[in-house]
Structure 1
Amino acid sequence: MTISKVFIDVDVQRDFCEEEGSLCLKDSPNDLFRRLTAHAVAQRIPIVGSVDSHAWDAWEFTTNEVPAPAGAVKPHFPDHCVKGTPGWLKVEGTLPPRFRFLPNVPEASTQQALDELIRGQIQAVYFEKEVYSLFVNPLAEGFVRGLVEAAGTAPEFFVYGVATDYCVRAAALGLVERGYRTALIEDAVAGITPDGVKAALDELRRAGVRIAQSSELLGAPSV
């Protein structure tokens, strides 16, 4: 199986993307997320995703006094994406028929999921994470490297999801810093603040991330 494209689905979860979500981004393009998922399944494009997975006392939350780790600033977000709650779930229509979630633990094995994704037995693998970057999950580094090695070519990674100024930014930077060809689908992201989005996009351009539109993948929308 030659892999020329990989989709990176960043945190398309109910707490971020739906009106009743605790940290809802009002401009979240949920229909476009669904179209990208359907396109990936139809075209056999692997999806490598991330999901925010918090405990009730996550240091990001304003409801507790847990300090930020060294080098980080506590953002005082409302409680969100607590694993096991409805807000943690992926937005309806953004999961392919077959997928796996990989936990945020170092001792788990990724080989079965990697083999299944390469062979097309599953369409997506999602990495649980507690902070912004996909690569904070200790399983992600080797998994992505193994996928590229098996691709038969140097695939381009297409990043979309939420939030542009936090986890999307971190995922795209993590990919390009590791030498992977990376594009951000600009109309398939949503951010928390306009200033934060602008700063993130400027930073990503400087880092070498290509800014693309969903029409490049899906074609022009029907009128």
Structure 2
Amino acid sequence: MASGNMTRQPSPPRVFVDVDVQRDFCDETGALYVKGSPNALFRRLTEHAVARGIPIVGSVDSHAWDAWEFGSNDMPAPEGGKPGFPDHCVKGTPGWLKVEGTLPPRFRFIPNVPHAPIDTAVRELATGQTHGVYFEKEVYSLFANSVAEGFLRELSAALGGAPEFVVYGVATDYCVRAAALGLVQRGYRTTLLTDAVAGITEAGVAAALGEMQAAGVALTTASAVLG
């Protein structure tokens, strides 16, 4: 059962999608800091979701020390095009952790392994027993985690169908873009909070926003949602 002091969200339901709000991306000392990361807004959105009974579905970049995309090793890329990123979001390190204040009181992480069990996590999130579920991934898209697609399908059904997925996080022109496009391409009603994202380059952000809008992603602001 949901917590007795929780204000349940109105119908149709919303689901918040927290994309890669981790220290290596969002803190100025992080290995791949995204300039202008709106951490205060990320915290407010988490607080709002917990208070209103809005489920949070998130992604976390989650690497081993020898991840193929790191420039510090010779591990070949699976399809070529090794990006040579600095080591970042290595699981268990401080940079892998979520930004302070953006992890709700009750949460689960879903590992990036085939056939990870999801039934209990879906039920708990849909009923408010947990506040957030975070999918570990190694590349840009939330859907790179092999069980994410089935989880969202089951969660949508458990919430009564057709929830609005509200996306925020970093970086606009990479993982945020991938999450929003992945959602709308799978038929989900998807909204992006334009003031609760940050990107790598101005040109990249402009192109990503245009692509998302053309695909059917709605744009609004965190203040409109929080209000």
What per-residue deviation string (whole Å, max 9, x for no partner) do you get for residues 135-165 of structure 1? 1101101100001111124111000001111
Is the Cα–Cα contact under 8 Å of residues 14 and 89 in structure 1 kept in the other structure?
A: yes
* Residue of structure 1 equivalent to 2:81: 73
The residue aligned with 1:125 is: 133
Could you say which residue in structure 2 is the equivalent of 1:49?
A: 58
Superposition map of 1:189-208 within 5 A: 189-208=197-216
- Map residues 144-163 of structure 1 onto 2, 5 A cutoff: 144-163=152-171
> 1: CA distance between counterparts of 2:83 and 2:17?
24
1:92 paired residue among 88, 96, 100? 100
Equivalence for 2:43? 34
Secondary structure of residue in 2 paired with 1:84: coil
The answer to whether the 8 Å contact 1:3/1:45 transfers is no
The amino acid across from 2:75 in the alignment is V
Q: Deviations over 1:12-47 (max 9, x none)?
A: 000000011111112000000000000000110000
The structural deviation recorded for 1:203 is: 0.7
1:17 alignment counterpart: 26
**How many angstroms does 1:68 deviate by?**
2.2
Q: Which amino acid aligns with 1:94?
A: T
Q: How many residues align?
A: 218
Matches of 1:68 and 1:172 in 2, distance apart?
25
Query: What SS does the corresponding residue of 1:35 show, helix, strand or coil?
Result: helix
Partner of 2:16: helix, strand, or coil? strand
Q: Is the 2:19–2:60 Cα contact (8 Å) retained in structure 1? A: yes
- TM norm structure 2: 0.93
Percent identical pairs in the alignment equals 70
User: Can you list the C-alpha shifts for 1:85-112, whole angstroms capped at 9, x where unaligned?
Assistant: 0000000000110000010011320011
Q: Measure, in 1, the Cα distance between the counterparts of 2:214 and 2:14.
A: 22
In structure 2, runs of 5+ residues without a counterpart are 1-7
Residue 58 of structure 1 and its aligned partner are, at CA, apart by 1.1
How far apart in 2 are the matches of 1:207 and 1:3? 22
Contact 2:72 2:86 in 1 (8 A): yes
Q: Quote the residue 2:5 is aligned against.
A: none
Q: In the alignment, what sits opposite 2:183?
A: 175
Secondary structure at the residue paired with 1:77? Answer: coil
- Mapped to 1, the partners of 2:135 and 2:217 lie a distance apart of 22
Q: Could you say if the C-alpha distance between residues 166 and 83 of structure 1 is closer, same or farther in structure 2, counting changes exceeding 3 Å?
A: same
- Aligned equivalent of 2:91: 83
Counterpart contact for 1:8–1:160, Cα < 8 Å: yes
Q: CA deviation at 1:66?
A: 2.2
CA distance in 2, matches of 1:170, 1:161: 12
Shift of 1:3: 5.8
Root mean square deviation of aligned Cα:
1.2
Give the SS at the match of 1:138: coil
